A and B are shown apart, each in its own frame.
Chain A
Amino acid sequence: SQQGEEDPQALSIQEGENATMNCSYKTSINNLQWYRQNSGRGLVHLILIRSNEREKHSGRLRVTLDTSKKSSSLLITASRAADTASYFCATDARTNAGKSTFGDGTTLTVKP
Chain B
Amino acid sequence: EAGVAQSPRYKIIEKRQSVAFWCNPISGHATLYWYQQILGQGPKLLIQFQNNGVVDDSQLPKDRFSAERLKGVDSTLKIQPAKLEDSAVYLCASSAYRGQGTEAFFGQGTRLTVV
Contact = CB atoms under 8 A, between A and B. Distances in A.
Majority secondary structure of chain B interface residues (helix, strand, loop or mixed): loop
A31 B95 CA distance: 15
Chain A interface size, as a band, is 20 to 34
B14 interface: no
Contacts of B45: 99-101
Nearest to A30: B100
Interface residues of B, number: 29
28 contacts: A2-B42, A4-B42, A30-B101, A35-B106, A40-B111, A42-B109, A43-B104, A45-B103, A45-B104, A48-B103, A50-B100, A88-B42, A92-B100, A96-B56, A97-B99, A98-B48, A98-B95, A98-B97, A98-B100, A98-B102, A99-B55, A99-B56, A101-B45, A102-B35, A102-B43, A103-B42, A104-B40, A105-B41
